[in-house]
């Protein structure tokens, strides 16, 4: 381990920091003075966690190194290849191919390698691969280390037996940045334990198009919630010293607009006016850059006809000039080539290379050949790409490598293996899964269930670790059941463990299967089919209650494309047949995006929504079903009632004199922020510190929250602001702050928030932030108060 003055100082400060935490209320792992009213809010968290760490000044070393590099060495640093370019074999049989490795790292001086070739590898196997790669790098003239990257999306999911957490959409449902940060800390520690210092996460695309097959990889539809959770993720992964043996560099993706395709399909065009881009899609990236994120990955699609990889305005003018980003930008998989084959902005790959590099791409995820290196060298020699641009890109890449400590210790470090699979990690993952579960409906106390009942567990997601986890789990599509940790419980197994196997009957009713032989341009790759619905019905008649597990299998990217959000017909038929028995039914909907269930929802008294809760999801669901845990998750998106009613919570106010404007009344299945509890909460005493404010000072807001039920519980207090009249038609309301509080039965707390004038701004048609005087309304827990901005 390194013992530089900087690190000794960091360790000393870390010890002081830990002492401060013990003497204060910690929110998101950030210490702050104990507030008088014991309130905790997102604004305070962002004020601390959202600040960029200060790193040592490596610029003199970087300038010296760049000055000694040849053109070919510089271009090599800008090249990223996939692991198959230095190995032979696949899956567990993968091994370093010395000839390939020498060509990539020694001859071409490749700066980065990524990914797995098939499925996840063990820590020991990763150590062998990383050690060989870094040994090869030490044979080069300047001994520049390679930066290895993988997708640690919901834990270190490409390292066998890693701790897996809910996917981002599930973590968003917790409304708990502390858990996001803790989960990211675990993911970082386990990733670095394998010798890998760079993760292609978090996804900061804002999920406002639920058809999109990567919807579940987002933090939901609200840019403020996504910003807070994104900062928490970055802070957890990078910490205050990314060279630490428990930290890794992040890569914010996919910059920007990728998540809002017009037709809902992956890697297809988006139409987003720039003021809306700045209002809804750029804020999470801006916040995470301000928090110190080291790298960014680019949108694979296009926005307004401009592919992300050639969008100089966004990559340079906004990201660099406005936001001050000083890390490096990496392309996504083969996306420079696709400028020729798909987007047609370049006649050949050489022109595509020039366009992307000059727009602001620093590193190309080529990743399967040496075309980028060869063509870029030619472009520089021919004068089509200036040397200053090459030096700029290489400087950024080397800066991150220095900050990661790779020049002092490229790894892998065998001592870091002790950070893998630590006993405390499972508890964090279980708590995250529990808090991610949303109790969407609970008519007449349908939940929790009694433990002395005979229970039928049925449905295609009931006995599936795949559904609990989704894509990016051991393999890209999360589809290989044999790779899952068999000690983890499915919903069926968790219910059996909770109330005894003798009290549980399992009949699947339907199943979700993956089509093995299908052309790559056809989707979806999963189909639902009936298996034994009559058997499920017969079992239901013999049971006291039915736990009906519905939802989705695993998917991501193009294989997850669908054209209809409606829950597949076999599942609806199963549900209707079970409902027809007259037995009490509780639905558990395990999914990555909101599948429409309006055909059955009104006839099911109890509904849990579980958004890919991870390996511990089965146990978490059983805990909630039987009352051992009080649910407190809240939806981070609007749950549609019909396939074409895809309005978000911050829609325009359509009601005009009690008449729906354009026949577009807002009537979702479940609203954004919705989530019930086994106890009840009462809001009162909404108070504003003043009725009138100016642009020079803000506003303090307080509200009382009381647990009026008989069970301890957690409640997320969400503060919305409505701009009553604006020069650009305003949203009905926008999230501006939130806080999660825990209350014992009969206990009350006063939650306080502070709003700043900037919280009242919006981006006008000139693409600049505007703060306009007028009336505003604060809305919290069904209460509202107005104030005026002068």
Paired strand residues for 585: 546
Place of tokens 């009213």: 37
Rg of the Cα trace of the chain? 26
Distance CA 372, CA 393 (A): 14
Element housing 494 (H / E): helix 491-499
Three-class SS state of 101? helix
Element housing 353 (H / E): helix 349-359
Tokens of 174: 């917790």
Q: Which of 242, 256, 341, 369 is nearest to 293 (CA)?
A: 242
What's the count of helices (H) and strands (E) in the chain, helices before strands?
A: 23, 34
Distances (CA, A) of 427 to 234, 353, 619: 21, 47, 12
Q: Is the dihedral of CA 326, 328, 331, 332 positive or negative?
A: negative
Q: Is residue 332 flagged as an active site residue?
A: yes
Please tell me whether the peptide bond between 524 and the residue prior to it is cis, using omega within 30 degrees of 0: yes
Among the options 302, 332, 362, 759, which is catalytic?
A: 332
Three-class SS state of 642? coil
Tokens of 501: 């196997």
Distance CA 261, CA 270 (A): 4
Distance CA 447, CA 445 (A): 5
Place of tokens 């400087």: 395
Answer yes or no: are the C-beta atoms of 148 and 130 closer than 8 Å.
yes
Distance CA 352, CA 362 (A): 14
Tokens of 559: 């294989």
Q: Which residues, including other chains, have CB under 8 Å from residue 249's CB and lie 6 or more apart?
A: 147, 197, 198, 199, 237, 238, 242, 294, 295, 327, 400, 403, 404
Place of tokens 């909101």: 594
Tokens of 643: 């396939």
HEC states along 258-312? Answer: CCCCCCCCCCCCECCCHHHHHHHHCHHHHHHHHCCCCEEEECCCEECCEEHHHCH
Answer yes or no: are the C-beta atoms of 123 and 193 closer than 8 Å.
yes
Number of residues assigned to the chain: 790
User: Count of alpha carbons within 13 Å of 784, Cβ hemisphere only?
Assistant: 12
User: Count of alpha carbons within 13 Å of 382, Cβ hemisphere only?
Assistant: 10
Distances (CA, A) of 81 to 342, 367, 405: 21, 4, 22
Please tell me whether the peptide bond between 217 and the residue prior to it is cis, using omega within 30 degrees of 0: no
Q: Which residues, including other chains, have CB under 8 Å from residue 680's CB and lie 6 or more apart?
A: 707, 708, 709
Residues designated catalytic? 332
């Amino acid at each position: 381990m390194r013992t530089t003055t900087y690190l000794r100082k960091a360790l000393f400060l870390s010890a002081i920091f830990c002492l401060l935490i013990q003497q204060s209320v910690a929110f998101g792992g950030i210490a702050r003075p104990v507030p008088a009213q014991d309130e905790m809010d997102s604004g305070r968290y962002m004020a601390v966690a959202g600040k960029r760490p200060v790193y040592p000044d490596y610029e003199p070393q970087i300038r010296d190194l760049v000055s000694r590099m040849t053109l070919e060495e510089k271009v090599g640093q800008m090249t990223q290849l996939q692991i198959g370019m230095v190995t032979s074999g696949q899956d567990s049989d993968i091994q370093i191919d010395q000839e390939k490795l020498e060509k990539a790292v020694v001859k071409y001086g490749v700066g980065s390698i990524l990914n797995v070739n098939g499925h996840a590898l063990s820590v020991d196997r990763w150590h062998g691969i990383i050690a060989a790669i870094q040994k090869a790098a030490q044979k080069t003239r300047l001994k520049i280390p390679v930066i290895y990257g993988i997708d640690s999306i919901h834990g270190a999911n490409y390292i066998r037996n890693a701790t897996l957490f809910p996917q981002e959409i599930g973590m968003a449902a917790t409304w708990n940045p502390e858990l996001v940060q803790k989960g990211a800390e675990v993911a970082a520690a386990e990733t670095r334990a394998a010798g890998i210092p760079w993760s292609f996460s978090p996804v900061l695309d804002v999920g406002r198009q639920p058809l999109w097959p990567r919807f579940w990889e987002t933090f939901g539809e609200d840019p403020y919630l996504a910003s807070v959770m994104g900062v928490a993720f970055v802070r957890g992964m990078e910490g205050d010293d990314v060279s630490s043996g428990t930290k890794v560099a992040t890569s914010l993706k996919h910059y920007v607009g990728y998540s809002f395709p017009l037709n809902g399909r992956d890697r297809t065009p988006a139409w987003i006016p720039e003021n809306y881009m700045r209002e809804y899609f750029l804020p999470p990236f801006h916040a995470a850059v301000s928090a110190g994120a080291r790298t960014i990955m680019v949108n694979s699609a296009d926005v307004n006809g401009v592919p992300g990889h050639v969008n100089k305005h966004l990559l340079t003018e906004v990201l660099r000039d406005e936001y001050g980003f000083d890390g490096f930008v990496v392309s996504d998989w083969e996306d420079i080539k696709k400028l020729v084959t798909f987007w047609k902005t370049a006649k050949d790959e050489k022109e595509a290379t020039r366009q992307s590099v000059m727009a602001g791409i620093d590193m190309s995820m080529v990743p399967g050949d040496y075309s980028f290196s060869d063509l870029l060298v030619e472009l520089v020699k021919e004068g089509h790409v200036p040397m200053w641009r090459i030096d700029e890109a290489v400087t950024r890449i080397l800066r991150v490598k220095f900050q990661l400590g790779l020049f002092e210790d490229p790894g892998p470090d065998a001592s870091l293996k002790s950070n893998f699979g630590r006993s405390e990690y499972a508890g964090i993952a279980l708590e995250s899964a529990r808090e991610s579960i949303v109790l969407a409906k609970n008519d007449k106390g349908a939940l929790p269930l009694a433990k002395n009942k005979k229970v039928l567990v049925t449905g295609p997601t009931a006995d599936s670790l795949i559904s609990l986890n989704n894509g990016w789990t051991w393999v890209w599509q999360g589809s290989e059941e044999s790779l899952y940790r068999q000690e983890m419980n499915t919903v069926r197994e968790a219910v059996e463990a909770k109330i005894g196997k003798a009290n549980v009957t399992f009949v699947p009713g339907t199943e979700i299967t993956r089509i093995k032989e299908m052309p790559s341009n056809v989707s979806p790759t999963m189909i639902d089919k009936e298996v034994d619905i009559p058997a499920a019905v017969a079992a239901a008649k013999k049971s006291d209650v039915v736990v009906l597990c519905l939802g989705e299998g695993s998917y991501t990217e193009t294989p997850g494309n669908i054209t209809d959000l409606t829950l597949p017909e076999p599942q609806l038929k199963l549900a209707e047949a079970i409902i027809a028995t007259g037995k009490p039914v509780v639905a558990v909907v395990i999914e990555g995006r909101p599948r429409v269930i309006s055909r059955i929802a009104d006839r099911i008294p109890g509904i849990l929504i579980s958004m890919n809760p991870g390996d511990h999801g089965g146990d978490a669901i059983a805990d909630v079903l039987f009352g051992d845990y009080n649910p407190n998750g809240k939806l981070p998106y609007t749950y549609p009632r019909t396939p074409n009613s895809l309005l978000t919570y911050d829609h325009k106010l359509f009601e005009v004199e009690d008449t729906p404007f354009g026949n577009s009344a807002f009537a979702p299945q479940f609203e954004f922020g919705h989530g019930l509890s086994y106890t009840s909460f009462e809001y009162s005493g909404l108070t504003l510190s003043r009725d009138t404010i100016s642009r020079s000072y803000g506003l303090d807001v307080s509200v009382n929250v009381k647990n009026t039920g008989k069970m301890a519980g957690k409640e997320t207090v969400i503060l919305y602001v409505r701009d009553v009249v604006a020069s650009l038609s305003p949203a009905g309301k926008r999230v501006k702050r939130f806080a999660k509080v825990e209350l014992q039965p009969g206990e009350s707390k006063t939650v306080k928030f502070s709003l700043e004038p900037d919280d009242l701004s919006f981006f006008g048609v000139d693409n600049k932030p505007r703060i306009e005087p007028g009336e505003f309304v604060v809305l919290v827990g069904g209460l509202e108060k107005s104030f005026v901005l002068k």
